[in-house]
């Protein structure tokens, strides 16, 4: 047995209250990486209750765990014991995978530059690149993206000065002394020297990637004719590896299977709002392939909405961001709305939130505008029934899978439901237990996993300052603006796993809190991790909201989680549910008599910005006649194009903005008066 396999204990670094970083070494090294993968495999084979996902990287392993199922001390003991018993023969022999690659031309537009930069002919670059063998050290950045080691320094080339906005799937690139393959279409700054026709990532197969960490890759040069032939075969659905990963049974999906029940659709989208997607509690067991967890940004609101309509807590629902949709109900059902206050209305009558509401076929659910929070959740009795993809119904937009056809909802989409539970029309949350959303939030953070890479002043700055949420915030993460956090050295680290809520700080000193759609790995030091109980509060924050961090211990975070889960247990048992007799036994909202009365309700005559951002389009001018729901202008905020629509028919009296204007939340944009 090699000394490298038995020398030294791993370093254990807590990463919030639901993750642990296990550091095997401090460099990119074949032996260190083999130990990382051996430990991941050993833990998976032991099927330790409470470990929910494993993310191997160059020299560390991120262990995601459920502290309600395994105590932190028990977890560290299990990890330490597994690491002490590792042996070289614990790692399966690497699988060699040949990657057919068409070099140059339209497939490798940067091959001439790579050759010129290294004083080589193009055919020499191809020969050098295709003669190497490349170890898959880890996967991250995007689903199926393999970090490869072993490229010759003779063809090392800097990244592009200006990254491309779109790179075709299968593109083979070089960046400094790295080479890799883009598994899906995505932006990127690597020099492209070729392209492969094989699909490296396919969410419909198991495992979803052609290669896995620990495999060895060899690039095989092919001509354009062969490329096109293989591309046709791939498009026709040629079969590939389907064997499951050994020992991974306990790390699979957690979401309950509602199954396809058939029957009639329950809702149809008339207007989709800014960003409406299908989400559940997320996709676990696949982060080692670079697949993000995704799921609801505010898990608290989603769970409550589901419980109110009698669903399992992890059933799929609609997540509505900033601007709500307009939806027609196609069959009698029961719904619950939770989370942000978007002023919901059913047939123009105010609709209650945080309670179950019977809704009749033909009713129209709409939202007048955002009043508090950022994301609302619509649960339907029986759950939103879309196919499972990699163990979850959640939508991951960047890779176009999960949810409804892998995308945000669009007008005309019809969604089905699963089998509904028993009668639950009278369930409601007590008003005193419903969250309130304000513009200032205190968020608790556990220091680490790399807090030692920051100065004492840096940590004091983080917990002693007010930060503002920037407009370039989205489901991947919230960019904060405020005092600079000081590093003790460089900001970069060897890429590590990224737990939910990780507060990473790049070289500019500005914190970025990683959220539901975060990449599975990242290369910036993480000063702390927001505790799981406070992530919903953060998810309901909007640009220009203020954030204050409070440092707490891991034990404090676990206690907060236990208190929250006690609350949910009381909800499930009915102790925290009240009977709202206004709705118990009442006819479903949206009957014709109700709808007729609703149409007489007046609407606001002023269209306002739902949140701060930039006006990128103005669609009307003074004197124009508009109909209710017509687009007035488009606001760019939170990396989304948010249409601002008329809330009533009338004539445009004034337009207060022009394209390019920066506006504040609540600012008047367009005034409408009666014709």
Same domain, 207 and 113: yes
Contacts of the segment 629-637: beta carbons below 8 A, 24+ positions apart: 629/271, 629/326, 632/607, 632/669, 632/670, 633/607, 633/657, 633/669, 633/670, 635/609, 635/610, 635/611, 635/663, 637/322, 637/471, 637/543, 637/610, 637/611, 637/612, 637/613
Q: Is 127 contained in some domain?
A: yes
The region of weakest confidence among 147-151, 596-600, 636-640 is 596-600
Which backbone phi and psi does 646 adopt, to 5 degrees? Answer: -70, 135
Same domain, 319 and 394: yes
The last residue of one of the domains, among 559, 594, 623, is: 559
Same domain, 272 and 412: yes
3-state secondary structure of 623: coil
3-state secondary structure of 251: helix
Give the model confidence (pLDDT) of 352-391 as tens digits. Answer: 999 999 999 999 999 988 999 999 999 999 999 999 999 9
Q: Is 66 contained in some domain?
A: yes
Say what the alpha-carbon torsion angle 255, 258, 260, 266 is, to the nearest 10 degrees.
Answer: -110
Q: Which residues 6+ apart lie within 8 Å of 234 measured at CB?
A: 197, 198, 199
CATH label of the domain that carries residue 168:
2.40.100.10
Same domain, 336 and 310: yes
CATH label of the domain that carries residue 609:
2.40.50.100
pLDDT above 90: percentage of residues in the chain: 71
Same domain, 498 and 515: yes
Q: What is the pLDDT of residue 386?
A: 96
The last residue of one of the domains, among 59, 90, 121, is: 90
Give the model confidence (pLDDT) of 446-458 as tens digits. Answer: 999 999 999 999 9
Give the model confidence (pLDDT) of 14-69 as tens digits. Answer: 999 999 999 999 988 999 999 999 999 999 999 999 999 999 999 999 999 999 99
Same domain, 74 and 108: no
Q: What is the pLDDT of residue 240?
A: 42
3-state secondary structure of 35: helix
CB 416 within 8 A of CB 263: yes
CB 546 within 8 A of CB 466: yes
Same domain, 396 and 505: no
Confidence of residue 2 (pLDDT cuts 50, 70, 90): very low
Q: What is the pLDDT of residue 402?
A: 97
Residue 608 neighbours by CB distance under 10 Å: 18
The last residue of one of the domains, among 559, 575, 594, is: 559
Q: What is the pLDDT of residue 8?
A: 66
Confidence of residue 264 (pLDDT cuts 50, 70, 90): confident
CB 232 within 8 A of CB 225: no
Same domain, 633 and 528: no
The chain-wide mean pLDDT, for the chain, equals: 89
Same domain, 20 and 109: no
Residue 85 neighbours by CB distance under 10 Å: 11
Q: What is the pLDDT of residue 248?
A: 33
What is the rounded distance in angstroms from the CA atom of residue 400 to the CA atom of residue 517? 12
Q: What is the pLDDT of residue 618?
A: 96
What is the rounded distance in angstroms from the CA atom of residue 340 to the CA atom of residue 164? 36
Give the model confidence (pLDDT) of 479-534 as tens digits. Answer: 999 999 999 998 889 889 999 999 999 999 999 999 999 999 998 999 999 999 99
Same domain, 414 and 277: yes
Q: Is 615 contained in some domain?
A: yes
pLDDT at residue 249 greater than cutoff 70:
no
Higher pLDDT, 273 or 55: 55
Residue 196's domain spans which residues?
96-235
Q: Would you state the structure tokens that stand for residue 258, as one six-digit string?
A: 């509602």
Q: Bridge partners of 357?
A: 335
pLDDT at residue 316 greater than cutoff 50:
yes
Q: Is 591 exposed, middle or buried (0-12, 13-18, 19+ CB in 10 A)?
A: middle
Q: Is 593 contained in some domain?
A: no
pLDDT at residue 178 greater than cutoff 50:
yes
Average pLDDT over residues 161-190: 90
pLDDT at residue 206 greater than cutoff 50:
yes
Q: Which residues 6+ apart lie within 8 Å of 583 measured at CB?
A: 352, 355, 356, 357, 358, 425, 426, 428
Q: Is 137 contained in some domain?
A: yes
Q: Is 581 contained in some domain?
A: no
What is the rounded distance in angstroms from the CA atom of residue 230 to the CA atom of residue 224? 10
pLDDT above 70: percentage of residues in the chain: 89
Rounded to 5, what percent of the chain is helix, strand, coil? 20, 35, 45
pLDDT at residue 585 greater than cutoff 80:
no
DSSP state of 161: S
What is the rounded distance in angstroms from the CA atom of residue 555 to the CA atom of residue 531? 11
Q: Is 587 contained in some domain?
A: no
pLDDT at residue 142 greater than cutoff 80:
yes
Average pLDDT over residues 323-341: 95
CB 275 within 8 A of CB 282: no
Same domain, 637 and 552: no
Q: Would you state the structure tokens that stand for residue 565, as one six-digit string?
A: 């889960």
Q: What is the pLDDT of residue 161?
A: 83
What is the rounded distance in angstroms from the CA atom of residue 486 to the CA atom of residue 494? 19
Q: Is 568 contained in some domain?
A: no
What is the rounded distance in angstroms from the CA atom of residue 629 to the CA atom of residue 617? 16
Same domain, 418 and 279: yes
Q: Is 362 exposed, middle or buried (0-12, 13-18, 19+ CB in 10 A)?
A: middle
- DSSP output for 49-83: TTEEEEEE-SSEEEEEE-TTTS-HHHHHHHHHHHH
Q: What is the pLDDT of residue 89?
A: 73
The structural domain count of the chain equals: 5
Average pLDDT over residues 591-603: 39
Q: Which of 83-87, 265-269, 471-475, 647-651 has the highest mean pLDDT?
A: 265-269
Q: Bridge partners of 317?
A: 279
Q: Would you state the structure tokens that stand for residue 334, as one six-digit string?
A: 């029961």
Q: Is pTM, for the whole model, over 0.95?
A: no
Q: What is the pLDDT of residue 1?
A: 38
Higher pLDDT, 252 or 562: 562
**How far is the CA of 365 from the CAs of 15, 426, 539, 591, 673, in angstroms?**
41, 19, 23, 13, 25
Higher pLDDT, 570 or 103: 103
**How far is the CA of 631 from the CAs of 619, 626, 643, in angstroms?**
7, 9, 6
- In 3D space, the residue among 421, 424, 284, 438 whose CA is nearest the CA of residue 371 turns out to be 438
């Amino acid at each position: 047995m090699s000394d490298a396999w038995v020398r030294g204990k791993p370093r254990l670094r807590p990463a919030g209250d639901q993750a642990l970083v296990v550091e095997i070494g401090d460099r990119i090294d074949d032996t260190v990486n083999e130990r990382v993968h051996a430990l991941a495999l050993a833990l998976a084979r032991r099927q330790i209750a409470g470990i929910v996902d494993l993310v191997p990287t160059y020299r560390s392993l991120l262990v995601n765990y459920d502290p309600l199922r395994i105590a932190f001390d028990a977890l560290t003991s299990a990890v330490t014991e597994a690491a002490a018993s590792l042996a070289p023969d614990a790692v399966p022999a690497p699988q060699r995978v040949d990657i057919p690659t068409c070099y140059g031309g339209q497939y490798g537009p940067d091959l001439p530059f790579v050759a010129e930069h290294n004083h080589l002919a193009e055919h020499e670059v191809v020969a050098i690149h295709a003669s190497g063998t490349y170890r898959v050290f880890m996967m991250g950045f995007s689903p199926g993206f393999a970090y490869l080691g072993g490229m010759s320094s003779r063809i090392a080339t800097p990244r592009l000065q200006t990254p491309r906005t779109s790179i075709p799937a299968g593109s083979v690139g070089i960046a400094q002394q790295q080479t890799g393959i883009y598994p899906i279409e995505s932006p990127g700054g690597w020099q492209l020297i070729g392209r492969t026709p094989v699909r490296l990532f396919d969410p419909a197969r198991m495992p979803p990637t052609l290669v896995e960490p620990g495999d060895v890759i060899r690039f095989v040069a092919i001509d354009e004719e062969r490329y096109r032939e293989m591309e046709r075969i791939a498009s026709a659905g040629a079969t590939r590896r389907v064997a499951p990963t050994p020992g991974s049974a306990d790390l699979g999906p957690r979401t309950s299977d509602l199954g396809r029940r058939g029957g009639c659709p329950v809702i149809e989208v008339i207007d989709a709002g800014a960003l409406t997607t299908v989400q559940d509690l997320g996709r676990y067991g696949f982060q080692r392939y670079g697949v993000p967890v995704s799921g609801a940004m505010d898990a608290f609101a989603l769970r409550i909405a589901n419980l109110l309509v009698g669903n399992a807590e992890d059933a799929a629902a609609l997540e509505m961001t900033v601007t709500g949709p307009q939806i027609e109900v196609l069959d009698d059902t029961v719904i619950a709305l939770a989370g942000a206050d978007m002023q919901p209305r059913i047939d123009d009558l105010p609709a209650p939130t945080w309670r179950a509401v019977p809704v009749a076929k033909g009713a129209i659910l709409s939202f007048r505008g955002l009043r508090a929070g950022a994301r609302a959740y619509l649960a339907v009795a029986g759950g939103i029934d879309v196919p499972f993809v990699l163990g979850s119904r959640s939508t991951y937009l960047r890779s176009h899978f999960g949810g409804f056809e892998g995308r945000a909802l669009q007008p005309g989409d019809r969604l089905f439901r699963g089998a509904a539970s028993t009668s639950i029309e009278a369930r409601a949350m007590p008003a005193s237990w419903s969250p309130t959303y304000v513009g200032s939030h205190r968020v608790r953070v556990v220091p680490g996993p790399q807090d030692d890479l920051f100065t004492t002043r840096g940590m004091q700055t983080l917990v002693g300052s007010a930060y503002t949420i920037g407009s370039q915030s989205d489901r991947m993460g919230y960019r904060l603006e405020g005092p600079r956090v000081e590093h003790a050295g460089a900001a970069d680290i060897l890429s590590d796993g990224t737990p939910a809520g990780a507060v990473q700080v790049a070289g500019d000193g500005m914190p970025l809190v990683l959220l539901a759609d975060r990449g599975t790995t990242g290369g910036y030091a993480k000063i702390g991790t927001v505790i799981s109980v406070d992530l919903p509060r953060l998810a309901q924050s909007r640009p220009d909201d203020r954030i204050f961090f409070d440092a707490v211990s891991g034990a404090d975070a676990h206690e907060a989680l236990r208190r929250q889960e006690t609350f949910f247990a009381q909800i499930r048992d009915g102790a925290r549910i009240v009977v709202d007799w206004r709705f118990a036994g009442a006819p479903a909202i949206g009957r014709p008599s109700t709808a007729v009365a609703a149409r007489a309700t007046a609407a606001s005559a002023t269209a306002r910005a739902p949140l701060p951002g930039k006006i990128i389009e103005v669609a009307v001018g003074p004197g124009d006649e508009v109909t209710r729901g017509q687009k007035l202008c488009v606001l760019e905020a939170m990396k989304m194009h948010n249409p601002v629509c008329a809330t009533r028919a009338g004539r445009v009296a004034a337009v207060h903005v022009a394209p390019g204007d920066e506006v504040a939340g609540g600012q008047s944009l367009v005034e409408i008066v009666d014709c």
